[in-house]
Structure 1
C-alpha cells in the first residue's frame, strides 16, 4: 500500500481552505462597505439555493460551464491559452443547428449527427489557431481572440432572413430541429434535469483518462512542463500543439449542445454568449482537474441562481460578479502561496538530507583514519 505523504496532504487541503476563508472575509468586507449585512446575504443565498427547483436550475446551468472549462483546460495542460472557446462553441452550435434543422432523420441518428457536426466545426475553428501557432509561431491568444470576432461576424451574416435563418417576431433564428432530436431528461422532482449532464460527466471521465492514463496525455503534460525536454525525448511539439487545439475545439463544440438540444432547439439572436470566457475562470478555479472544475461550475451556477434572489432582497446586482472575481483571485493566490511554501519545505528537507549525508561521510572518513593510525 502506498504511503501517504502527510505534508503533501496538508498542503493540498490548506490551499482551498485558505482560498475559501480569504474569499469569505474579502466578500464580507465588500458587502459591509455597501451598508448591508453579509450574514443575511449568505443566509438568503443558502436558503434559496437549497430549494429543489433551484438545485435543478443550478445543475442545468453548470453543464455548459463545465464543458467550457474542460475545453480551456485541455489547452492549459500544455501551456496553450485557448481564449477562443466562446467563438468556437457559438459557430459550432450555429452550423449544428443549421444541419439539425435541415435533416429529418430518426432521433437516435440525428442527435449524434448534430453533436458530431458541432464537435467537428469547433475543432476546425480552433485548429486554425493551432496550425498558425505550429507553422508560423503566431500566439494562440491573438489568433483565438480574432477568431472570436470572425465567428460572431460570420454568424451575423448568415443569421438573416433569406440566408440560413428565419424571422420570428423581432428575433432571427435557424429552422427548429425536429421534436425527435430533443435530448432526453432525467426524471427528477420538481422538474427534470437536462440529460446532457450525463454527456458532461462522460466528457470529464474521458478527459481524466486521456490526460493521466495515456501516452498522449503524458506527452501533452511533458510539452506543458518543458518544450525543449519533450522535443529531446522524441515528442513532436508542433503536432502536439495542433492536436491539442483540435481537441480543445472539439470539446468547445459541446458547450452549446445542452441549450440547442435541450431548450432552444434552434440558434437565434438570443443564444447564450460569454460561456467560453467563464470557462477560463472555472479552469483556473478547478486547477484543470475534472472534479475541481465540476465543483467550480456548480459554484458558478449557485451564484448565478442566488444572485437573482439577492437583488430582490435589496442587494446591489453587481455583488455576485464581485464575489466571482474575488473567489478566482483568492484561489489563484492561495495556490501560488501554498506552492511556494511547499517548495521551500522541499528545499529545506533536501538540504537537511544532504547535510546529514555529508556528516555521515565525514564520520566514516574519521573512523577509517583512526583505524589506520
Structure 2
C-alpha cells in the first residue's frame, strides 16, 4: 500500500490556492487604483451565477475548456508545449462540420463519423509538429504557433462560398451548412437550458486520461520519457516514437474541443465560432496541475469568470474586469507554482538532511555500544 505523503498533498494544494489568493489581491489593487469598489464586482458575479441559465452556460463552457486543457496536459506530461490546440480545434471543428453537413447516416453513425473526423484532423495537424520535432529537431512551441496561423488562414479560405462554405441570405456570416438532425447529439434538459451531450463525454474523458496515464504501461512510458528522455531511452523506450504519439493524442483530444458546441447548439461552423479556447486550455491545465480533477475545477473557475462577468457591465464596472482577473490568474499561477516548487525542493533537502543526521547518530550509538 502506498504511504500517504502529507507534504506532497499540501504542496499540490498550495500552488493553486496561492495563485488564486494572489490573483484576488492583485485584482483588488487594480480596482482600488482605478477608484472603484473592489468588492462589488465579486458580489455582482455571485448574484448572476444564481440564475439557472447562467449555470448551464458555465457548465457547457467548462466542457470545452476541459477538453482543451486535457489536450494541453497530455503534452505537458511528455514535457511538450502544444500551443497549437486552438488551431487544431478550429480546423477539426470546421472540417467535421463540413463532413457532417454533407453526409446522411443513421444517428449514432452520423455522430461517430463527425467525432472521428474531428479526432483525425486534430491529430494530423498536431502530428505535423510532432514529425518536425522528431525528424528535424524543430521546437514544438515554434511549429505549433506557426500552424495556428496557417490553420486560421486555411479556414478563412475553405469557408468561402466558392470552396466549402455557404453565405446565408441577408447575412455577412459564412457557414459550412447545417448538419442534419441525425448528426445532433441529445443533451441533458435541465432548468435553465440544455447541457450539451458532448459536455458529459468531455468529463468522462477525464477518467480515461487518468486511467491511461496512471494505470497503463503506455502512460508510464509517457511520463518516464517526459521526466527524462535519455533515461527512458536507456530502459528500452523509443523516445522519438513517444514524442510523436503524444503529439498525435494531444491533437486528437484538441480536435474534440469544438464538438460540445457543434453537436449541441450551432450544428454548423461559422465565422462566429469561438476562438482562443485552446489558449485558455493552457491556463486551465497549468492551474489544474495536469490532474483531471484539478483541471475540472480550473475550467469551472474560468468559465464562471467569463459567463458571470456579464453582470459587471455597468458605467463603473466594465466586462474587461473578468479578463483582467483571468490574466492575473495566469501570472499568479506561474509565480506561485515556482515559489511552491522551490519550497518543496528545500523541504525535501531538509528532510533528507534530517534523515542522514539521524542515521549518523544511530551509527555512532551502535559503535559506542
Name the TM-score, length of structure 2 as normaliser: 0.95
What corresponds to 1:209 in structure 2? 211
Q: Distance in 2 between matches of 1:315 and 1:229?
A: 53
Say which SS state the counterpart of residue 312 (structure 1) adopts. Answer: coil
- Asked whether the 8 Å contact 2:16–2:288 carries over to 1, the reply is no
What corresponds to 1:294 in structure 2? 296
Q: Distance in 2 between matches of 1:344 and 1:39?
A: 37
Indicate the RMSD between aligned Cα atoms, in angstroms. Answer: 1.5
Q: How does 1:133-144 map to 2 (within 5 A)?
A: 133-144=133-144
What corresponds to 1:182 in structure 2? 184
Tell me how far 1:10 sits from its aligned partner.
Answer: 3.3
Q: Distance in 2 between matches of 1:242 and 1:332?
A: 27
What corresponds to 1:332 in structure 2? 334
What corresponds to 2:7 in structure 1? 7
What corresponds to 2:247 in structure 1? 245
Q: Distance in 2 between matches of 1:362 and 1:20?
A: 48
Q: Distance in 2 between matches of 1:151 and 1:351?
A: 53
- Asked whether the 8 Å contact 2:55–2:192 carries over to 1, the reply is no
Q: Distance in 2 between matches of 1:179 and 1:199?
A: 19
Say whether residues 1:236 and 2:224 are aligned partners. no
What corresponds to 2:51 in structure 1? 51
Say which SS state the counterpart of residue 187 (structure 1) adopts. Answer: strand
What corresponds to 1:88 in structure 2? 88
C-alpha spacing 1:33/1:292, structure 2 compared with 1 (3 Å): same
1:360 corresponds, among 350, 359, 362, to 362
Tell me how far 1:2 sits from its aligned partner.
Answer: 5.2
Say which SS state the counterpart of residue 167 (structure 2) adopts. Answer: strand
- Asked whether the 8 Å contact 2:54–2:192 carries over to 1, the reply is no
Say which SS state the counterpart of residue 237 (structure 2) adopts. Answer: coil
C-alpha spacing 1:222/1:364, structure 2 compared with 1 (3 Å): same
Tell me how far 1:78 sits from its aligned partner.
Answer: 0.9
What corresponds to 2:167 in structure 1? 167
Tell me how far 1:359 sits from its aligned partner.
Answer: 2.4
Name the TM-score, length of structure 1 as normaliser: 0.94
After superposing the two structures, state which structure 1 stretch, 36-45 or 304-313, moved more. Answer: 304-313
What corresponds to 1:306 in structure 2? 308
After superposing the two structures, state which structure 1 stretch, 171-180 or 108-117, moved more. Answer: 171-180
Q: Distance in 2 between matches of 1:13 and 1:98?
A: 43
Larger Rg computed on CA atoms: 1
C-alpha spacing 1:92/1:10, structure 2 compared with 1 (3 Å): closer
Gaps of 5+ in 2: none
Tell me how far 1:338 sits from its aligned partner.
Answer: 2.1
Gaps of 5+ in 1: 368-373
C-alpha spacing 1:334/1:160, structure 2 compared with 1 (3 Å): same
C-alpha spacing 1:14/1:281, structure 2 compared with 1 (3 Å): closer
Tell me how far 1:353 sits from its aligned partner.
Answer: 1.6
Aligned residues: 367
What corresponds to 1:371 in structure 2? none
Say which SS state the counterpart of residue 39 (structure 2) adopts. Answer: helix
- Asked whether the 8 Å contact 2:91–2:122 carries over to 1, the reply is yes
After superposing the two structures, state which structure 1 stretch, 155-164 or 111-120, moved more. Answer: 155-164
Say which SS state the counterpart of residue 170 (structure 1) adopts. Answer: coil
Tell me how far 1:335 sits from its aligned partner.
Answer: 2.6
Tell me how far 1:17 sits from its aligned partner.
Answer: 2.9
Say which SS state the counterpart of residue 249 (structure 1) adopts. Answer: helix
Tell me how far 1:191 sits from its aligned partner.
Answer: 1.4
Q: Distance in 2 between matches of 1:11 and 1:142?
A: 32
Say which SS state the counterpart of residue 175 (structure 1) adopts. Answer: coil
- Asked whether the 8 Å contact 2:119–2:253 carries over to 1, the reply is yes
What corresponds to 2:109 in structure 1? 109
Say which SS state the counterpart of residue 105 (structure 2) adopts. Answer: coil
Q: Distance in 2 between matches of 1:302 and 1:320?
A: 10
Tell me how far 1:54 sits from its aligned partner.
Answer: 0.9
- Asked whether the 8 Å contact 2:61–2:303 carries over to 1, the reply is yes
